[in-house]
Amino acid sequence: MADNTQNSKTCCSTEPRPDKTIRPNALPLFPPQKATEEVCCGLPAGPPSSPFERPGYRICAFVDRFKATSLGPVPILKTQLSFQDRLGALLVRLDIRRNQYKVAPGLYAVGAPDATSPVLVTANYKLTLDSVRKELSDTNAWILVLDTRGINVWCAAGKGTFGTAEVVRQVKNVRLDQVVSYKKLILPQLSATGVSALEVKKGCGFEVVWGPVRAKDIPSFLANRQKAAPAMRTVTFDLAERWVLIGVELAQTFKDLLWIVPALFILSGFGPGIFSFSNVWHRGPAAALAVLVGVLSGTLLTPLLLPWIPGRAFALKGSLMGLLFGAVLAIFLLKPVFPVAVLALFLMAIPVSSYLAMNFTGCTPYTSLSGVEKEMRKAIPLQSLSALVGLVLWIVSAFLKY
Protein backbone atom coordinates (compact mmCIF):
# COMPACT_ATOMS: atom_id res chain seq x y z
CA MET A 1 0.00 0.00 0.00
CA ALA A 2 1.09 3.55 -0.62
CA ASP A 3 0.23 6.69 1.30
CA ASN A 4 -2.62 8.99 0.45
CA THR A 5 -0.46 11.31 -1.66
CA GLN A 6 -0.85 8.77 -4.45
CA ASN A 7 -4.55 8.07 -3.99
CA SER A 8 -6.59 8.06 -7.17
CA LYS A 9 -10.01 9.71 -7.19
CA THR A 10 -13.06 7.45 -7.18
CA CYS A 11 -15.96 9.13 -8.96
CA CYS A 12 -18.66 6.59 -8.16
CA SER A 13 -19.20 3.06 -6.97
CA THR A 14 -21.95 0.45 -7.12
CA GLU A 15 -20.25 -1.91 -4.67
CA PRO A 16 -21.53 -2.27 -1.11
CA ARG A 17 -19.25 -0.72 1.51
CA PRO A 18 -19.18 -2.56 4.84
CA ASP A 19 -19.70 -0.53 7.97
CA LYS A 20 -17.10 -2.45 9.94
CA THR A 21 -13.61 -0.93 9.85
CA ILE A 22 -10.31 -2.80 9.91
CA ARG A 23 -9.06 -3.25 13.45
CA PRO A 24 -5.36 -3.86 14.10
CA ASN A 25 -6.06 -7.31 15.51
CA ALA A 26 -8.76 -8.53 13.14
CA LEU A 27 -9.40 -9.13 9.45
CA PRO A 28 -12.50 -7.86 7.70
CA LEU A 29 -14.67 -10.74 6.58
CA PHE A 30 -15.78 -9.32 3.26
CA PRO A 31 -17.29 -11.49 0.52
CA PRO A 32 -15.43 -11.54 -2.82
CA GLN A 33 -16.48 -8.64 -4.97
CA LYS A 34 -17.49 -9.06 -8.59
CA ALA A 35 -16.74 -6.75 -11.47
CA THR A 36 -19.62 -4.64 -12.69
CA GLU A 37 -20.47 -3.58 -16.20
CA GLU A 38 -21.69 -0.14 -15.16
CA VAL A 39 -20.02 2.73 -16.98
CA CYS A 40 -18.68 5.51 -14.75
CA CYS A 41 -17.81 8.94 -16.17
CA GLY A 42 -17.92 7.47 -19.67
CA LEU A 43 -15.44 4.66 -18.80
CA PRO A 44 -15.97 1.02 -17.84
CA ALA A 45 -15.95 0.53 -14.08
CA GLY A 46 -13.04 -1.92 -14.37
CA PRO A 47 -11.99 -4.60 -11.90
CA PRO A 48 -13.21 -4.44 -8.31
CA SER A 49 -11.15 -2.91 -5.54
CA SER A 50 -9.48 -5.11 -2.99
CA PRO A 51 -11.56 -5.66 0.15
CA PHE A 52 -8.62 -4.20 2.08
CA GLU A 53 -8.61 -0.90 0.18
CA ARG A 54 -9.78 2.14 2.15
CA PRO A 55 -9.95 5.91 1.59
CA GLY A 56 -6.44 7.34 1.72
CA TYR A 57 -4.82 4.21 0.30
CA ARG A 58 -4.54 2.52 -3.04
CA ILE A 59 -3.46 -0.94 -4.10
CA CYS A 60 -0.06 -0.65 -5.78
CA ALA A 61 0.58 -2.48 -9.04
CA PHE A 62 3.40 -4.53 -7.52
CA VAL A 63 1.06 -5.99 -4.86
CA ASP A 64 -0.41 -9.33 -5.96
CA ARG A 65 -2.77 -10.13 -3.09
CA PHE A 66 -2.96 -10.01 0.70
CA LYS A 67 -2.13 -12.52 3.38
CA ALA A 68 -4.30 -12.74 6.46
CA THR A 69 -2.39 -12.56 9.74
CA SER A 70 -3.44 -12.10 13.34
CA LEU A 71 -2.43 -8.44 13.01
CA GLY A 72 -4.32 -7.79 9.80
CA PRO A 73 -3.66 -8.08 6.05
CA VAL A 74 -0.06 -8.09 4.78
CA PRO A 75 0.62 -7.28 1.10
CA ILE A 76 2.04 -10.15 -0.95
CA LEU A 77 4.43 -8.74 -3.54
CA LYS A 78 4.68 -9.89 -7.13
CA THR A 79 8.06 -11.40 -7.98
CA GLN A 80 7.82 -10.66 -11.69
CA LEU A 81 8.65 -7.11 -12.71
CA SER A 82 6.05 -5.51 -14.95
CA PHE A 83 6.54 -3.05 -17.79
CA GLN A 84 5.54 -0.31 -15.35
CA ASP A 85 8.31 -1.41 -12.95
CA ARG A 86 10.93 -1.44 -15.71
CA LEU A 87 9.81 1.91 -17.06
CA GLY A 88 9.99 3.38 -13.57
CA ALA A 89 13.52 2.02 -13.18
CA LEU A 90 14.56 3.54 -16.49
CA LEU A 91 13.19 6.94 -15.55
CA VAL A 92 14.98 6.80 -12.20
CA ARG A 93 18.23 5.92 -13.99
CA LEU A 94 17.68 9.11 -15.99
CA ASP A 95 17.16 11.11 -12.78
CA ILE A 96 13.43 11.59 -13.33
CA ARG A 97 11.46 11.64 -10.05
CA ARG A 98 14.25 9.73 -8.38
CA ASN A 99 13.56 11.26 -4.96
CA GLN A 100 9.92 10.15 -5.09
CA TYR A 101 10.60 6.55 -6.15
CA LYS A 102 9.79 4.86 -2.87
CA VAL A 103 7.23 2.61 -1.20
CA ALA A 104 5.50 2.80 2.16
CA PRO A 105 7.64 1.25 4.93
CA GLY A 106 6.24 -1.71 6.82
CA LEU A 107 5.78 -5.45 6.50
CA TYR A 108 5.42 -7.16 3.11
CA ALA A 109 5.75 -10.77 1.99
CA VAL A 110 6.51 -13.00 -1.00
CA GLY A 111 5.07 -16.43 -1.63
CA ALA A 112 3.19 -17.99 1.27
CA PRO A 113 5.23 -17.28 4.40
CA ASP A 114 4.35 -18.63 7.82
CA ALA A 115 5.61 -18.13 11.36
CA THR A 116 8.88 -19.94 10.57
CA SER A 117 9.70 -18.09 7.32
CA PRO A 118 12.77 -15.83 7.17
CA VAL A 119 12.50 -12.06 7.57
CA LEU A 120 14.49 -10.01 5.05
CA VAL A 121 15.11 -6.35 5.82
CA THR A 122 15.56 -3.79 3.06
CA ALA A 123 15.13 -0.10 2.14
CA ASN A 124 11.98 1.60 0.87
CA TYR A 125 13.71 2.81 -2.31
CA LYS A 126 11.54 1.02 -4.87
CA LEU A 127 14.49 0.15 -7.10
CA THR A 128 15.99 -1.68 -4.12
CA LEU A 129 12.73 -3.44 -3.26
CA ASP A 130 12.34 -4.49 -6.90
CA SER A 131 15.84 -5.94 -6.97
CA VAL A 132 14.98 -8.05 -3.90
CA ARG A 133 11.49 -9.27 -4.81
CA LYS A 134 12.40 -10.32 -8.35
CA GLU A 135 14.93 -12.80 -6.95
CA LEU A 136 12.39 -14.47 -4.65
CA SER A 137 10.04 -16.20 -7.09
CA ASP A 138 10.50 -19.58 -5.37
CA THR A 139 10.79 -18.25 -1.82
CA ASN A 140 8.38 -17.84 1.06
CA ALA A 141 9.57 -14.92 3.16
CA TRP A 142 8.60 -11.77 5.03
CA ILE A 143 10.12 -8.47 3.89
CA LEU A 144 10.49 -5.71 6.45
CA VAL A 145 10.86 -2.40 4.61
CA LEU A 146 12.54 0.41 6.55
CA ASP A 147 11.87 4.11 6.08
CA THR A 148 15.14 5.17 4.45
CA ARG A 149 13.56 8.28 2.85
CA GLY A 150 13.71 6.58 -0.57
CA ILE A 151 17.48 5.97 -0.41
CA ASN A 152 19.20 2.69 -1.28
CA VAL A 153 20.69 0.43 1.39
CA TRP A 154 24.36 1.40 1.12
CA CYS A 155 23.80 5.16 0.95
CA ALA A 156 21.09 5.04 3.63
CA ALA A 157 23.43 3.16 5.98
CA GLY A 158 26.02 5.89 5.48
CA LYS A 159 23.46 8.65 6.03
CA GLY A 160 21.98 6.96 9.10
CA THR A 161 18.47 6.35 7.75
CA PHE A 162 19.15 2.60 7.46
CA GLY A 163 20.31 2.44 11.05
CA THR A 164 19.88 0.66 14.34
CA ALA A 165 17.06 2.90 15.57
CA GLU A 166 15.03 2.46 12.38
CA VAL A 167 15.38 -1.33 12.44
CA VAL A 168 14.19 -1.44 16.06
CA ARG A 169 11.37 1.01 15.36
CA GLN A 170 9.97 -0.93 12.41
CA VAL A 171 10.22 -4.30 14.20
CA LYS A 172 8.15 -2.87 17.02
CA ASN A 173 5.84 -0.91 14.74
CA VAL A 174 4.69 -3.98 12.77
CA ARG A 175 4.75 -6.15 15.93
CA LEU A 176 6.97 -8.65 14.17
CA ASP A 177 7.29 -10.83 17.25
CA GLN A 178 3.60 -11.68 16.81
CA VAL A 179 4.07 -12.65 13.15
CA VAL A 180 7.08 -14.98 13.37
CA SER A 181 7.88 -17.62 15.99
CA TYR A 182 11.61 -16.94 16.11
CA LYS A 183 13.62 -13.76 16.52
CA LYS A 184 16.05 -13.37 13.67
CA LEU A 185 16.44 -10.66 10.99
CA ILE A 186 18.42 -10.97 7.76
CA LEU A 187 19.98 -7.61 6.91
CA PRO A 188 21.94 -6.80 3.74
CA GLN A 189 25.67 -6.78 4.35
CA LEU A 190 25.95 -3.27 2.89
CA SER A 191 23.87 -1.94 5.79
CA ALA A 192 26.49 -3.00 8.34
CA THR A 193 28.03 0.48 8.50
CA GLY A 194 24.78 1.88 9.92
CA VAL A 195 23.49 -0.95 12.10
CA SER A 196 24.77 -2.34 15.39
CA ALA A 197 23.66 -5.96 15.72
CA LEU A 198 24.18 -5.83 19.49
CA GLU A 199 21.98 -2.72 19.89
CA VAL A 200 19.26 -4.22 17.69
CA LYS A 201 19.23 -7.28 19.95
CA LYS A 202 18.94 -5.06 23.01
CA GLY A 203 16.31 -2.82 21.43
CA CYS A 204 13.83 -5.36 20.07
CA GLY A 205 15.12 -8.81 20.97
CA PHE A 206 15.83 -9.86 17.39
CA GLU A 207 19.19 -11.29 16.34
CA VAL A 208 20.83 -9.85 13.22
CA VAL A 209 22.17 -12.15 10.51
CA TRP A 210 24.15 -10.44 7.76
CA GLY A 211 22.94 -11.48 4.33
CA PRO A 212 24.82 -11.33 1.02
CA VAL A 213 25.98 -8.20 -0.77
CA ARG A 214 23.83 -8.81 -3.86
CA ALA A 215 20.11 -9.56 -3.92
CA LYS A 216 20.58 -12.29 -6.54
CA ASP A 217 22.44 -14.38 -3.94
CA ILE A 218 19.57 -14.36 -1.41
CA PRO A 219 18.01 -17.68 -2.59
CA SER A 220 21.39 -19.46 -2.35
CA PHE A 221 22.03 -17.84 1.01
CA LEU A 222 18.70 -19.09 2.37
CA ALA A 223 19.21 -22.56 0.89
CA ASN A 224 22.62 -22.74 2.58
CA ARG A 225 21.05 -22.32 6.05
CA GLN A 226 21.64 -18.59 5.99
CA LYS A 227 25.38 -18.90 5.54
CA ALA A 228 27.13 -16.77 2.93
CA ALA A 229 29.80 -18.17 0.64
CA PRO A 230 32.97 -16.03 0.32
CA ALA A 231 31.83 -14.73 -3.08
CA MET A 232 28.62 -13.41 -1.48
CA ARG A 233 30.70 -11.21 0.84
CA THR A 234 32.77 -9.65 -1.95
CA VAL A 235 31.88 -6.14 -3.10
CA THR A 236 32.48 -5.71 -6.82
CA PHE A 237 32.42 -2.72 -9.14
CA ASP A 238 32.61 -4.27 -12.59
CA LEU A 239 31.81 -2.73 -15.96
CA ALA A 240 28.07 -3.52 -15.81
CA GLU A 241 27.79 -2.07 -12.29
CA ARG A 242 29.58 1.09 -13.37
CA TRP A 243 27.53 1.41 -16.52
CA VAL A 244 24.15 1.60 -14.75
CA LEU A 245 25.33 4.61 -12.74
CA ILE A 246 26.17 6.71 -15.77
CA GLY A 247 22.60 7.63 -16.75
CA VAL A 248 21.88 9.55 -13.55
CA GLU A 249 25.16 11.48 -13.72
CA LEU A 250 24.64 12.42 -17.37
CA ALA A 251 21.04 13.47 -16.75
CA GLN A 252 21.98 15.66 -13.78
CA THR A 253 24.89 17.23 -15.67
CA PHE A 254 22.90 18.01 -18.81
CA LYS A 255 20.41 19.92 -16.67
CA ASP A 256 23.27 22.22 -15.67
CA LEU A 257 24.39 22.49 -19.29
CA LEU A 258 21.07 24.14 -20.13
CA TRP A 259 22.38 27.36 -18.59
CA ILE A 260 26.16 26.79 -18.85
CA VAL A 261 26.20 26.48 -22.66
CA PRO A 262 24.21 29.70 -23.29
CA ALA A 263 26.50 31.50 -20.82
CA LEU A 264 29.58 30.31 -22.74
CA PHE A 265 28.10 31.54 -26.01
CA ILE A 266 27.50 34.97 -24.48
CA LEU A 267 31.04 35.16 -23.06
CA SER A 268 32.40 34.16 -26.46
CA GLY A 269 30.82 37.25 -27.98
CA PHE A 270 33.09 39.71 -26.15
CA GLY A 271 36.00 41.09 -28.20
CA PRO A 272 37.62 44.23 -29.60
CA GLY A 273 34.22 45.60 -30.59
CA ILE A 274 32.94 45.04 -27.03
CA PHE A 275 30.38 42.48 -28.16
CA SER A 276 30.00 40.76 -31.50
CA PHE A 277 27.29 38.32 -32.58
CA SER A 278 29.78 37.07 -35.15
CA ASN A 279 32.08 35.99 -32.30
CA VAL A 280 29.14 34.32 -30.58
CA TRP A 281 28.59 32.00 -33.52
CA HIS A 282 32.28 31.52 -34.39
CA ARG A 283 33.75 31.06 -30.90
CA GLY A 284 30.75 29.84 -28.92
CA PRO A 285 30.63 26.31 -30.37
CA ALA A 286 34.31 25.71 -29.53
CA ALA A 287 33.78 26.68 -25.86
CA ALA A 288 30.62 24.60 -25.59
CA LEU A 289 32.35 21.64 -27.24
CA ALA A 290 35.26 21.84 -24.79
CA VAL A 291 32.87 21.69 -21.83
CA LEU A 292 30.95 18.85 -23.48
CA VAL A 293 34.21 16.91 -23.85
CA GLY A 294 34.84 17.45 -20.14
CA VAL A 295 31.34 16.21 -19.32
CA LEU A 296 31.62 13.05 -21.42
CA SER A 297 35.13 12.22 -20.24
CA GLY A 298 34.17 12.74 -16.59
CA THR A 299 30.76 11.06 -16.49
CA LEU A 300 31.08 8.43 -19.22
CA LEU A 301 34.66 7.52 -20.07
CA THR A 302 36.19 7.79 -16.60
CA PRO A 303 33.80 5.30 -14.93
CA LEU A 304 33.94 2.90 -17.89
CA LEU A 305 37.75 2.90 -18.01
CA LEU A 306 38.20 3.34 -14.26
CA PRO A 307 40.45 0.31 -13.49
CA TRP A 308 42.85 1.15 -16.31
CA ILE A 309 43.33 4.87 -15.65
CA PRO A 310 46.51 5.63 -13.63
CA GLY A 311 46.26 7.02 -10.11
CA ARG A 312 44.01 6.38 -7.11
CA ALA A 313 42.19 9.70 -6.73
CA PHE A 314 39.08 10.08 -8.88
CA ALA A 315 39.89 13.76 -9.39
CA LEU A 316 43.23 12.76 -10.91
CA LYS A 317 41.66 10.07 -13.07
CA GLY A 318 39.11 12.58 -14.36
CA SER A 319 41.83 15.15 -15.04
CA LEU A 320 43.84 12.66 -17.07
CA MET A 321 40.80 11.74 -19.15
CA GLY A 322 39.95 15.40 -19.66
CA LEU A 323 43.53 16.10 -20.75
CA LEU A 324 43.59 13.17 -23.15
CA PHE A 325 40.29 13.83 -24.87
CA GLY A 326 40.81 17.57 -24.74
CA ALA A 327 44.00 17.03 -26.73
CA VAL A 328 42.12 14.91 -29.25
CA LEU A 329 39.56 17.69 -29.60
CA ALA A 330 42.26 20.33 -30.07
CA ILE A 331 44.09 18.29 -32.73
CA PHE A 332 41.13 17.27 -34.85
CA LEU A 333 38.48 19.93 -34.28
CA LEU A 334 40.11 23.15 -33.11
CA LYS A 335 42.96 23.69 -35.56
CA PRO A 336 41.85 27.23 -36.47
CA VAL A 337 41.79 28.28 -32.80
CA PHE A 338 44.74 30.37 -31.57
CA PRO A 339 47.17 28.85 -29.00
CA VAL A 340 45.91 30.95 -26.07
CA ALA A 341 42.36 29.94 -26.90
CA VAL A 342 43.38 26.27 -27.07
CA LEU A 343 45.00 26.58 -23.63
CA ALA A 344 41.82 28.20 -22.32
CA LEU A 345 39.69 25.34 -23.62
CA PHE A 346 42.03 22.82 -22.02
CA LEU A 347 41.77 24.63 -18.69
CA MET A 348 37.97 24.49 -18.93
CA ALA A 349 37.63 20.87 -20.07
CA ILE A 350 40.04 19.34 -17.54
CA PRO A 351 38.41 20.64 -14.30
CA VAL A 352 34.93 19.76 -15.61
CA SER A 353 36.06 16.18 -16.21
CA SER A 354 37.89 16.03 -12.88
CA TYR A 355 34.95 17.37 -10.86
CA LEU A 356 32.37 15.09 -12.46
CA ALA A 357 34.60 12.05 -12.01
CA MET A 358 34.60 12.72 -8.26
CA ASN A 359 30.82 12.16 -8.21
CA PHE A 360 31.50 8.43 -8.49
CA THR A 361 33.38 8.31 -5.20
CA GLY A 362 30.06 7.88 -3.38
CA CYS A 363 29.04 4.74 -5.28
CA THR A 364 32.25 2.73 -5.44
CA PRO A 365 33.96 0.35 -2.99
CA TYR A 366 37.30 1.95 -3.90
CA THR A 367 36.92 4.90 -1.54
CA SER A 368 36.22 5.77 2.08
CA LEU A 369 34.40 8.75 3.57
CA SER A 370 37.56 10.25 5.05
CA GLY A 371 39.45 9.68 1.81
CA VAL A 372 36.73 11.38 -0.23
CA GLU A 373 36.67 14.40 2.08
CA LYS A 374 40.45 14.71 1.89
CA GLU A 375 40.40 14.45 -1.90
CA MET A 376 37.67 17.09 -2.23
CA ARG A 377 39.50 19.57 0.02
CA LYS A 378 42.52 19.35 -2.26
CA ALA A 379 40.85 19.02 -5.64
CA ILE A 380 37.95 21.49 -5.61
CA PRO A 381 40.08 24.66 -5.14
CA LEU A 382 42.35 23.57 -8.01
CA GLN A 383 39.38 22.72 -10.21
CA SER A 384 37.78 26.09 -9.50
CA LEU A 385 41.02 27.96 -10.20
CA SER A 386 41.59 26.11 -13.48
CA ALA A 387 38.05 26.80 -14.68
CA LEU A 388 38.30 30.48 -13.75
CA VAL A 389 41.67 30.94 -15.48
CA GLY A 390 40.31 29.12 -18.52
CA LEU A 391 37.30 31.43 -18.77
CA VAL A 392 39.48 34.54 -18.40
CA LEU A 393 41.93 33.35 -21.08
CA TRP A 394 39.05 32.48 -23.38
CA ILE A 395 37.73 36.04 -23.17
CA VAL A 396 41.23 37.57 -23.43
CA SER A 397 42.07 35.45 -26.48
CA ALA A 398 39.39 37.32 -28.47
CA PHE A 399 41.40 40.56 -28.05
CA LEU A 400 44.74 39.10 -29.16
CA LYS A 401 46.08 39.38 -32.68
CA TYR A 402 48.24 36.69 -34.27
- Where are the alpha helices (H) located in 236-368, listed in sequence order? 239-268, 277-296, 302-304, 314-332, 339-358
**CA 47 and chain centroid, separation:** 33
3-state secondary structure of 402: coil
Q: What's the DSSP call for residue 196? A: -
3-state secondary structure of 110: strand
Q: How many helices (H) and strands (E) does the chain have?
A: 12, 11
Contact present, 228 and 210 (Cβ < 8 Å): yes
Cα–Cα distance measured from residue 167 to residue 324, given in angstroms and rounded to the nearest whole number: 48
E strands, 35-146, are 39-40, 43-44, 63-69, 72-77, 106-110, 119-123, 141-146
Mean pLDDT by 10 residues, the chain (402 residues): 36 33 33 35 51 70 89 92 92 84 93 95 94 94 94 88 95 94 94 94 96 93 91 83 84 88 91 84 88 92 90 90 84 66 87 90 67 83 92 87 57
State residue 92 phi and psi, 5-degree precision: -65, -40
The span from the first CA to the last CA of the chain, in angstroms, equals 70
For the chain, domains (ranges, CATH) are 1-59 (no CATH), 60-233 (3.40.50.11600), 239-397 (no CATH)
State residue 122 phi and psi, 5-degree precision: -150, -175
Cα–Cα distance measured from residue 259 to residue 253, given in angstroms and rounded to the nearest whole number: 11
The pLDDT of residue 279 is 83
CA distances from 102 to 51, 165, 340 (A): 24, 20, 50
State residue 131 phi and psi, 5-degree precision: -65, -25
Cα–Cα distance measured from residue 318 to residue 301, given in angstroms and rounded to the nearest whole number: 9
Cα–Cα distance measured from residue 299 to residue 311, given in angstroms and rounded to the nearest whole number: 17
Cα–Cα distance measured from residue 65 to residue 212, given in angstroms and rounded to the nearest whole number: 28
The pLDDT of residue 59 is 76
CA distances from 319 to 354, 367, 375, 387 (A): 5, 18, 13, 12
Cα–Cα distance measured from residue 103 to residue 397, given in angstroms and rounded to the nearest whole number: 54
Q: What are residue 43's DSSP bridge partners?
A: 40
The pLDDT of residue 50 is 65
